């Protein structure tokens, strides 16, 4: 994937199975969002190919794709005064016309809003919501779409601490139920706590990809993020915690 002479992603290979949550991490400009758009079929590739169930994405109709994968972008611009519930119900569009869809879609819309803690402002206009509230409504739309593949880009952006964990716990539960989930994350410790696999990108290339306890290695991450980390065990979970060192401490250690 290139823009003019610059490769946005180059030689990146990723396979995601049902039941797996992959956390994609890396600094700004690493190619995380571009990769997600390539996986979703929203950006054409100038090399390589993306597949769903061994079928090239380019062969799917838009309706077929919408029934196979749901995408949560970094932000959703909706200038019209749709209510939050109407936005969530948009996730049911790929299933319109199916027998029993009206009743099933209504129930699933309400259920998705309940899961994302958004029912209290169901009748509020989407543009009047805060950034965090909009993010959760958008996630509810993705959940209402009821697909086996979820591609979510910075789902914790704008969220308070409780809702960050709520969102990623939902993603984890969906994966445990058989969904294939790819989440772009900026917080390395959230990736460590919730992801099964971590893909570390830097300048459009793969640095490493594997189980989080191996991929989120301080020695690998230091040159990627331009800072040092200390690895500590989580007090309650069998997961590593990454503590960034201030630049002054890094210089003293050097």
User: SS3 for the chain, per residue?
Assistant: CEECCEECCCCCCCCCCCCCEEEEECCCCCCHHHHHHHHHCCCCCCCCCCEECCEEHHHCCHHHHHHHEEEECCCCCCCCCCEHHHHHHHHHHHHCCCCCHHHHHHHHHHHHHHHCCCHHHCCCEHHHCCHHHHHHHHHHHHHHCCCCEEEEECCCCCCCHHHHHHHHHHHHHHHHCCCEEEEECCCHHHHHHHCCEEEEEECCEEEEEEEHHHHCCHHHHHHHHCCCEEEEECCCCCCEEEEECCHHHHHHHC
Query: Mean pLDDT throughout 50-59?
Result: 92
CATH number of the domain bearing residue 36: 3.40.50.300
Distance CA 235, CA 131 (A): 32
Query: Mean pLDDT throughout 45-49?
Result: 81
Percent of the chain with pLDDT over 70: 94
pLDDT tens sequence across 208-237: 999 999 999 999 999 999 999 999 988 888
Predicted pLDDT at 250 = 53
How many separate domains does the chain show? 1
Confidence of residue 249 (pLDDT cuts 50, 70, 90): low
Q: Note down the domain range covering 75.
A: 2-253
Confidence of residue 165 (pLDDT cuts 50, 70, 90): very high
Predicted pLDDT at 79 = 74
pLDDT averaged over the chain?
91
168 or 75: which leads in pLDDT = 168
Predicted pLDDT at 7 = 66
- pLDDT above 80 for 6: no
Query: Exposed (0-12), middle (13-18) or buried (19+): which is 5, by Cβ within 10 Å?
Result: exposed
Query: Mean pLDDT throughout 151-163?
Result: 94
Query: Mean pLDDT throughout 170-175?
Result: 96
């Amino acid at each position: 994937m290139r823009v003019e002479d610059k490769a946005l992603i180059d030689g990146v290979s990723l396979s995601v199975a049902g039941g797996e949550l992959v956390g994609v991490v890396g600094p700004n400009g690493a190619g995380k969002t571009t990769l997600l758009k390539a996986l979703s079929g929203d950006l054409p590739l100038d090399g390589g190919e993306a597949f769903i169930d061994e079928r090239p994405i380019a062969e799917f109709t838009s309706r077929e794709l919408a029934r196979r994968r749901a995408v949560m972008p970094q932000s959703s611009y909706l200038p019209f005064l749709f209510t939050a519930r109407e936005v969530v119900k948009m996730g049911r569009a790929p299933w319109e016309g199916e027998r029993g869809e009206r009743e099933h879609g209504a129930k699933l819309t309400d259920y998705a809003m309940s899961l994302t803690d958004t029912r209290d402002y169901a009748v509020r206009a989407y543009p009047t919501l805060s950034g965090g509230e909009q993010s959760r409504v958008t996630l509810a739309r993705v959940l209402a779409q009821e697909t086996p593949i979820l591609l979510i880009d910075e789902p914790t952006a704008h969220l308070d601490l409780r809702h960050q964990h709520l969102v990623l716990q939902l993603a984890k539960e969906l994966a445990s139920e058989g969904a294939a989930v790819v989440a772009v994350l900026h917080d390395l410790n959230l990736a460590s706590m919730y992801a099964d696999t971590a893909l570390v990108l830097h300048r459009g290339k793969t640095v490493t990809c594997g189980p989080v306890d191996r991929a989120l290695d301080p020695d690998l991450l230091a040159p990627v993020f331009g800072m040092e980390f200390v690895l500590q065990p989580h007090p309650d979970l069998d997961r590593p915690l990454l503590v960034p060192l201030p630049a002054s401490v890094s210089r003293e250690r050097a």
